[in-house]
Every structure is written in structure tokens, then in C-alpha cells.
Amino acid sequence: VLLCSNTAKGVFCGLFVKVFVEKMGWAKCGLRAKFSDGELEIVSSTESALREDSASPSGDDANEQAVGNLLSCGGLVMVDGLAIADTRQFEEIGLANLVSCMSLLIESAKEKGMVVEVNATGGFKPQSIYATIIGSLFEVDVYYLHEDSQENLKLPPLPIDHDAMSWAEYIGIIEAADGKDKDRSVALKESLPEPYRRLFQERGGKLFLNPFGSIVRGRMKEETKRLSRYGRGLLLTERLGDYKEEYEKCVTEAWQYLWLGDLIPETVEHARGHTQRLLTLASQLLLPLYKNGDGPLTKSDLFALLASIWLHDLGHKQRELKIPKDKFEVPGSPEDPVEIVGEMNDWSVFRVSGLPTVVRDMHHVLTWEALLLDKTDRYKLGSFRFPVAWACLFHRLQMPLGNYSYFKDEVTGFTVRGPMADVMEADGEVCVEVKKVAALLRFLDACDVQRERTVDERYLEERMDLTLGEMEEEEGKREELAKALAEASKSRGGVCREFQELNYILPCFTKKARELNEFLRKIIKNDKGEGGNKNFVELIDGFDCLKRKIEDNLKKLISREKNLFLSCSEKKEDLLFRSWLESADRAFFKALQVYHFIKHYQVSQVLILPEDGGRFKVEIKPTEKFAVPGILEKIKGDIEAEYSEVREILKGLGINSVEVAVKGDIAQA
């Protein structure tokens, strides 16, 4: 198919090329067509092979038929608006017609399974430039013949995309490779699709984005902010083999809206953004370990890991904790059972929906139960639900992942003890190395500490205003319930010591939370204020001291009065006490979130970077705004602690060591 401007010169040149092509026997160009305002119209034909109903259709059908005939018979298309004399028409109409015409033809040809190539030679240079860009947009090869050359010059497609989400799929790997030693980052670069590899250039033994790559990155970052900040783990998805289709079906049909109904929405972001950041971190960690297509995980292990990344915080929306009494054997591994033991009757139901501290502390157990007891396959895992459930159960630091596991929750009495199986059966004959999956999930989860978990500054301020407003409401309820409960308890000799302490300490704690929120606003505005971080250190010390006292008293009371959450007592005093305890727990939990938002706001970015010999570095980049003493050190220590617990398991994947480092100078107040 030949394109020309719908001008005298353009049509003359187009007809000349048409005759030349036909005389050389390269192709038939039997039709002449006109393209204007998005419509392709056949204006003349030397062909007898056109469809008999060519004159009857109208609208979209006519356009589709005209395109089909043109692709079948070949021809010359005259594009309106490309007259150079009328600059405004050329810019506003002509180039738009050229883009529309080429897009229509390329897309239609690709749908028919044709191989598409673009020859951008000839004509006014801006047209050639646009033709080249369009070729890249549709990922087809573009050719150009210069007057001094005897051969066509091939211009392979570059990663220009009309869909910014495609860029988001690869940005984590691009950022990790940019500016790093070539020998250490070449594996990251080679893991990218071929068009994206062309964005890099070597300089001084390091890989850098070339000027065009930098322009594309800037444009895509701006565009991505409007849509979504994250990709979907596409690079690892491509390595799932036969599981790829099943995984993508799970994401679209079951997983992508799992955070709806979150019982603790006031926390830093635990939903889709968190999931997609973990997928990016997993790509940074695992892709450098792939050699000749083989990686550290089997395809079934990789499927289980990706599923666990999506599902591990599912417990945040579960309203009940079921506590079994009898031994519970790991499916597929009865010789090495992990016992799940409860202190109450078989499968007692503990209502946790009004106790956010319990939901958060036990969310790994709640996730485990939701998946393991999913008899209707709501989460589309099939038999994979067993290894995925156990990987999610063991993704928290307090769950030992060694040869023997023991964990007991002092509030609910939920207990895990026994040897943990290395391998679990899934999908018939396929097995999953669940310890490796759980170890990777635990380490990756620990690394997601960056500012993106606070979404952005506007969201952060709105979220804190809402959360502290809710905290005030719960405090008001607690005070009223405390008065009523004190009156109702007189006949029983009064209230307990923990009740009295909580009613005294909680108002002090919520006051500290409001003061912390004011400090957070100063951080956002980069306003150090008088006293700077010295005032914050004193504030946070007092906050921590009260936090420990409240946690201790709440756990004692919930544990002692857990029957209130296991039964439906109608006694007035029981109803009052449960309502008071839930209000106290909610007020406390909401007040805690200010500190967590401050913590995550301190980190601009976390990258997992490959080094030599299976060594990796976790690079923590501080915020550009002033940092709070001790927080970055604590973040670093938390990641190191999680890695220490799974170090030996990760060695089995070729991850021989991990160094955690804070990058650059920290701007202290």
C-alpha cells in the first residue's frame, strides 16, 4: 500500500512509484483511494477482484470493507491535508490524517496476521518522522533509503507507546539498571524486551539511559501518574510458561479487587499498589538469576509466589478467626505435619472485626484460613490454595521458618507448632517448594517501605485528617461507655486495673498522635521549625512509652475477656464492656497510624540491585526532605532482621548474600 499527499505533486510521485513497483513485479497496486477525516474511500480500480457488495455498505462497514480491499489488492492512498503551502492545515489536519490512516492500515493488517513493514523514504521530512514514530508505536520495522545508500536502512521499533501502562511494567528494572556498573546491571537490561534495551548506552563502564530514553522516561512518568503508578509483574509473568494464562485469569477475575472490605483502611497502602510494588521488587531480585531461560524457581513455584504476593494481605478483610483444636496436617505432607492448636472448642469463631489490632497482628493467620477453607474456589487457585495458604501464613517475622516452627498468639490462643514441610503437592503431580516461596515473600514484603505507600502528599493529609477525626469519635464513645460501665460494675466490686489505666492513658496517647500529625505536616512542607528533630525525638519517645503500656493492657483485657468475642452474651455489662473494648482498640489503632505514615514518608525509593556472585544490595534512598533521626536506621534494621531469618533458604535460590544500605547523605533537621 502506497501513501501520498492529495496534491498534484504528491499524486504524480505516488503514481510514478506505483508504476515502478508494478513494472518490477514486486506487488500489485490496483486500487486508488482517498483518506480524509478518518474515512478510507476507494475512488477507482483496475481490479476485478473487489467484493461484489463493495458499493452497498456505509459508515464503519464501508470503511472496513475499503481497508480489506486495499490490503488484498494493494493500491495508492491519497491523504488529505498534507499540502505544505498551508502550514496550519498540514499541522492540524494533514498529520492527523497520516497518523489515522497508517494506524488503521497497520492495525487491520496485524489483525489479519500480515507481516507489516513501513518504508518511510521520500516526501517531506516531517512525514517520514511521523511514519517512523507510528511504526514504533505499533512495534513494526521501519525502513529508509537514502540517496547515497545502495541498501535500505532498517530502523527497529523503539518503546514509544500510546499506552503508558506498558512503560509501568518495566520501570522498576529500568531504574535499577540506570547508572549502574555494566557488569552488574547487564542481566537486568537483558531481561527487558528488545525495544527497551535500546534505551541504554554504555559510558565509562556503566549503563545509562540514552537521551531518547530519558525523554521517554520523563514523558511516561508524567502520564503514569494519571493512570496508575505500578505495573502487573509482566516480566515474571512471561516466565510462567503453561501457568501464564491461568495467572492472568486469576488476576482479572479474582484478585485485583481483593482489598474491598478492608477492615483497617487507615493503614499505609496494603492494596493493589503494595502488590504491584512487590511484583517489581521480585523482578529486580529474581530476573538477574535467570540463565538461558532457566531461573531459580520452577514455574509452579513462581506461580505460587506471584499468587502469594497478591493474596498475602487478604486477612485484612476477614471478620472472623476460626481456632481449631485438633491437629491439622499439611496437605500432601502427612509425615511432617504442622499442628494448629487452639485453646477453645473445635473451630471456635472469634469475632475480630471490631478489633483492628487483632486483625493486623493476625492477618497472616486470617489469610491462611480464608484460602485453606475456600471450598468454592473463590480465589481461583484450585489445589494451589494449599501451598499459597501456607506461604502466606509464614510470611511474617514472628513465624519461624526453620526446621521447626512455634508460634502462639497470646490474645486468641492460636498456636502453630511442629516441623514445616519443604515441599507441598499442588496441581496433581506438581509440587511447590513452599519454604522458598514463603522466604521470598517475607523478604520482599519487608522491602516495601517507600513513600509510595502513603500514595501522595494530598492523600496523606486527607487520610490523616479522616483517621484522626475517626479517632476522636472513638474516644468520645469510649468515654461515654466507660462511665456507663463503671456505674454498671459497682455491684461487682468495681472495674479492673487495666480498665482504669486505659481510660487514663488513651487520652494522653491520642494527644501525642495529634502532635505527631502536626510534625508530619512540617515534614511535607520541609519546615523544620524551632527545635527541629529534637522536639520530635522527645515526642516519639513519649509516644512509644504510652504505646507499649496500652498494648500490654489491651492484650491482657482481650485475652481475659475473649469469651465476649466468642459468644453472643446479652448481659448489659458484657455488651457494654465489649463495646468499650472495641472503641478503645479502634482509637488506639487509628492513633498509631501517624507514626507509620511518617516512617514510610522518609524513604523515596527502595531498589534491589544485583552484584557479583549471587550478591545483592537493597538500596534505601532517603526522602529529599529532612529525615527523622533513627527511622531510616530502624527501616534498615527491620529489612536485615527479615533477611537474617530466611538467609539459608534464599541461598538455595542462588541469593548468596544481601547487603542493606541507605544511599547518600541524610538531610538532618
pLDDT tens readout for residues 179-220: 888 888 888 988 988 878 877 878 788 888 865 576 667 767
Instruction: Classify 32 as helix, strand or coil.
Output: strand
Percent helix, strand and coil across the chain, each to the nearest 5: 55, 15, 30
Q: What is the pLDDT of residues 513-532, one digit of tens each?
A: 999 999 888 888 877 666 55
* Chain centre to alpha carbon of residue 424: 27
Please choose, from the candidates 158, 269, 167, 270, the residue with its C-alpha nearest in 3D space to the C-alpha of residue 219: 167
Q: What is the pLDDT of residues 253-307, one digit of tens each?
A: 888 888 888 999 999 988 888 998 999 999 999 999 988 778 899 999 999 999 9
Cell numbers representing residue 78 in the block: 491519497
Q: Confidence band (pLDDT; 50, 70, 90) for 571?
A: confident
Comparison of pLDDT for 146 and 549, the residue scoring more: 549
The sign of the CA dihedral 484, 485, 491, 493 is: negative
Give yes or no for a contact between 282 and 608, defined as CB atoms under 8 angstroms apart.
no
pTM of the shown model:
0.75
> Residue 59's pLDDT is what?
56
The sign of the CA dihedral 292, 298, 300, 301 is: negative
Q: What is the pLDDT of residues 151-162, one digit of tens each?
A: 888 888 877 665
Phi first, then psi, for residue 270 (nearest 5°) are -120, 15
Residue located via cell numbers 538532618: 668
**Rounded Cα distance, 284 and 264, in Å:** 30
Instruction: Classify 449 as helix, strand or coil.
Output: coil
On average, the pLDDT of the chain sits at 84
Please, is 403 exposed, middle or buried when counting C-beta atoms within 10 Å of its C-beta (0-12, 13-18, 19+)?
Answer: exposed
Cell numbers representing residue 247 in the block: 495467572
Give yes or no for a contact between 424 and 330, defined as CB atoms under 8 angstroms apart.
yes
CA distances from 240 to 237, 265, 302, 380, 392 (A): 5, 32, 7, 16, 20
Contacts of 408 (CB under 8 A, 6+ apart): 414, 415, 416
Comparison of pLDDT for 661 and 49, the residue scoring more: 661
> Residue 519's pLDDT is what?
86
Phi first, then psi, for residue 343 (nearest 5°) are -90, -5
Q: What is the DSSP letter of 326?
A: S
Please choose, from the candidates 634, 659, 663, 661, the residue with its C-alpha nearest in 3D space to the C-alpha of residue 644: 659
Residue 231 has pLDDT above 60, yes or no: no
> Residue 230's pLDDT is what?
46
* Chain centre to alpha carbon of residue 85: 50
Which ranges of 57-153 would DSSP assign to H, the alpha helix?
59-73, 87-89, 95-111, 125-137
The 10 Å Cβ neighbour count of residue 555 is 17
Percent of the chain with pLDDT over 90: 40
Contacts of 502 (CB under 8 A, 6+ apart): 550, 553, 554, 557, 584
- Ranges of beta strands (E only) in 64-131 are 75-79, 117-119
Instruction: Classify 628 as helix, strand or coil.
Output: coil
> Residue 433's pLDDT is what?
92
Cell numbers representing residue 572 in the block: 448489659
Radius of gyration of the chain (CA): 32
> Residue 335's pLDDT is what?
46
**Rounded Cα distance, 415 and 328, in Å:** 11
Q: Confidence band (pLDDT; 50, 70, 90) for 227?
A: very low
Q: What is the pLDDT of residues 107-140, one digit of tens each?
A: 889 889 999 999 988 767 778 888 888 888 788 8
State how beta strands 141-144 and 153-155 pair: antiparallel
